[in-house]
A and B are shown apart, each in its own frame.
Chain A
């Protein structure tokens, strides 16, 4: 079946460091791609999404570009803050359905 692979965590960075969390997907065709974030004690929140190749999703300083040629959707942020500490989930949704297939999540800890 389809799967999403994320880099394993935890990722620990100092404030203002550059962040990359890798994500690759396996769905064929043109799935939609998502990044969700889960802050401590809260539910999943949509961070950004992209629905076609070469689209760039962006929100709160985070960006991810839909790369069809490498089946990737890596999350980046130029300067992380302590408040970005959370678990980040990459997810895909096939064009033929609604089911989200999630990666296992990457925990990010940002120290002051």
Chain B
């Protein structure tokens, strides 16, 4: 079974530039998550989708971050404009259903973003 795919793996940009990350979840998984992992910290949830609807975006900095999952499959996370403090690894995860006790989230390899 193919895992969660993410691209690019690495990205270096200058502050105030824009950047986009792409994620393709495991086939058949209804729920998709984007996490931000700053160096030395645990991942922090940015946004959760159930199919193509947003379930939780309470920790997404909406003035500069946006995400979509238009067809309920793959997803794009965008940052515009980027700040130095956005340097982190952006992780995408998916789960079969969401809302189920013990439902496992499967993570992709992440995109490491460096903002100069």
Contacts and interface: CB of A to CB of B under 8 A. Distances in A.
Given A44-B107, A99-B48, A100-B35, 11 more contacts: A32-B102, A36-B107, A43-B4, A43-B107, A44-B91, A98-B31, A98-B55, A98-B95, A98-B98, A98-B99, A98-B105
B45 A99 contact: yes
5 contacts: A44-B43, A45-B107, A46-B104, A89-B43, A98-B33
Interface of B: 4, 31, 33, 35, 40-45, 48, 55-56, 91, 93, 95, 98-99, 101-110
A104 B101 CA distance: 23
Interface of A: 4, 32, 36, 42-46, 49, 51, 89, 91, 95, 97-105
Nearest to A99: B45
Max chain A C-beta neighbours (<10 A), residue from B33, B93, B104, B107 = B107
Contacts of A105: 40-42
A100 B91 contact: no
A100 B98 CA distance: 11
A49 to B, nearest CB: 6
